[in-house]
Structure 1
Amino acid sequence: MVVDPRVSDPRPETLAVLGLPAVAIGAMEGADRGPGPRRRGGGLSTIWADDAGAMDLIVHHLHELGHRRIAHMAGPPGLAHTARRIAALRSAARQLRLDHIVSVTTDHSDRQGAKAARRLLGASLRPTALICHNEVMAVTAAGVATERGLRIPEDVSIVSWEDSALCRAFHPPLTALTREPGSFGRRAAAEVLHLLAGARPRRLQDPLPSLEVRESCGSPPAP
């Protein structure tokens, strides 16, 4: 299994040369070109999530609440899913005519999450909503907001890209994308067996996650 696909990732070509069957967890660059020639027993399947569709769910929800200044605490810049999510945010912003959109890359940790949140919430024209790539950064961002005397969601709304018990236990509970990671893993394992049995590689799309709206999102403060 190939995890965390990168921009211009060299692993698919290497696997093809070796003739090894593999499953990429996440869309790979050039995966839509089809399986192409392969050696016996080789081939790369992908099981991927619709990052653009998920970003649209979040941005449209925030837009409907009245938010026009949205910041995105993203993941590492070399990862393919980070690039896709940043591009999806920009596309949604163009569609909705949002001018105050920014993405800041991090290493997914609480330390860099806190640094990014302080930078964003300390800006002269601070965002009224934060989209965080995982629940650890979302909770960290909420802590930074409280540290600066900001209320959630009255002054700033927060959305986590990943849901967990942490999002549900936090006060206020965090709005988050919900998915079935266990099902995703089982499908990936089944696809490995599919390739080992001699079947052709294929692209499998994970169901679009839903947005679980909780108390961390509300209308932005009056101008």
Structure 2
Amino acid sequence: MKRPTVREIAACAGVSQGAVSYALNGRRGVSEATRNRILEIARQLGWTPGGGTHRHVRRSGTLGVVVRRPAAALAGEPFLGALMSGIQRAPATGSASLLMRAAPSHAAELEIYRRWHREQTVGGVLLVDLRTGDTRPDELAAIGLPAVALGGPLGRSDLPSVWMNDRQTMRGVLEYLAALGHRSVVRVAGPEAFLRTRTRTDAFVAAACRLRLADARTVHSDFSDEGGADTARRILRSKRPPTALVFDNDAMAVGGLVAAQGLGLRVPADLSIVAGDDSGLCRLVRPALSAVQWPVAEFGALAVSLLRRVIDGGNAADTCTSAPAFAIRGSTGPIARR
């Protein structure tokens, strides 16, 4: 018999998915009567505890992260390095370590979670790279692993999240470029399937409409410098090239800068460029790149602190980081007269 999902159990029991997660995992948050009723309905649907899912067990001090990305993208993306640095710098409440695995597919990722839970390898997991229509929150709840999502807010009581204010930031970047006279702006975004890409796209569209930037649009790449360079060349060779490019990360922005200079464009006289992480790459190139300073290290540290509260059975709610800053450097300037 197929193992029932948290959503299916919740529908049959007439309760929230969060209540089901609390009941199956032996966590506080539901009454004993409700817990027993949910467990009974779950058993009738074919659910089994599987290694102590709904019993209080000794939790490992290790935290887990599974990343499902191409290896080339992992090697060249500063965001992940800054995130891991923040995770390691989280205030310690005891000895803890981070176990990171790469998975080639969704099925492989789930198998890692199941093995970790079965062998009690980790006490909880940080769920990264949220996708539109992501089924992993329900699947993790069914497995029985405490988790915190990096991205959101999701508004789920059983899966608290840490998030950054993408909407406010996209609005600020476009307002800055519009004040310099730029009316044609193209944003080079990451993969369309990622939830944070969609959130930023929605914010970009809303800000462009409010500023009446009719020639503002988003195109997608793969977070790599090669992808950024190829995408920039295609955009800049079009019949109506933009006067400004906004990249979702630094690797793509550096690739875009090199591509623009290779086409004979002067930055910022002919083209302004904004990067998306403000890693050391932004200050090594010439001109140095203006960049959004996302609080990525804080993002990781908050996620760890929140996950420890979840593991300990405490209250945990969606948490927003401090506001991103914007570093203005030599890659942005007033639009040149044409």
Shift of 1:62: 0.3
Moved more, 158-167 or 18-27: 18-27
- Structure 2 stretches lacking a partner, 5+ long: 1-125
Q: Spell out, residue by residue over 1:75-117, the C-alpha distance to the aligned partner (whole angstroms, 9 max, x if none).
A: 0011001111111111001100111012111111122211110
Alignment of 1:54-133 (within 5 A): 54-133=169-248
Q: Is the 8 A contact 2:184 2:216 kept in 1?
A: yes
Q: Normalising by structure 2, report the TM-score.
A: 0.61
Equivalent in 126, 135, 146 of residue 21 of structure 1? 146
Shift of 1:71: 0.4
In 1, distance between residues paired with 2:274 and 2:161? 27
Equivalent residue, structure 2, for 1:50: 165
Shift of 1:179: 3.3
Equivalent residue, structure 2, for 1:170: 285
- Structure 1 stretches lacking a partner, 5+ long: 36-42
Structure having greater relative contact order (Cα 8 Å, sep ≥ 6):
1
Shift of 1:8: 0.6
Shift of 1:221: 1.6
- The structure with the largest alpha-carbon Rg is 2
Shift of 1:17: 2.4
Equivalent in 192, 195, 218 of residue 307 of structure 2? 192
Shift of 1:207: 1.2
In 2, distance between residues paired with 1:172 and 1:112? 20
In 2, distance between residues paired with 1:194 and 1:67? 46
What secondary structure sits across from 1:44 in the alignment?
Answer: coil
Shift of 1:55: 0.6
What secondary structure sits across from 2:256 in the alignment?
Answer: helix
What secondary structure sits across from 2:330 in the alignment?
Answer: coil
Q: How many residues align?
A: 213
Equivalent residue, structure 2, for 1:10: 135
Shift of 1:15: 2.0
In 2, distance between residues paired with 1:118 and 1:80? 26
Equivalent residue, structure 2, for 1:140: 255
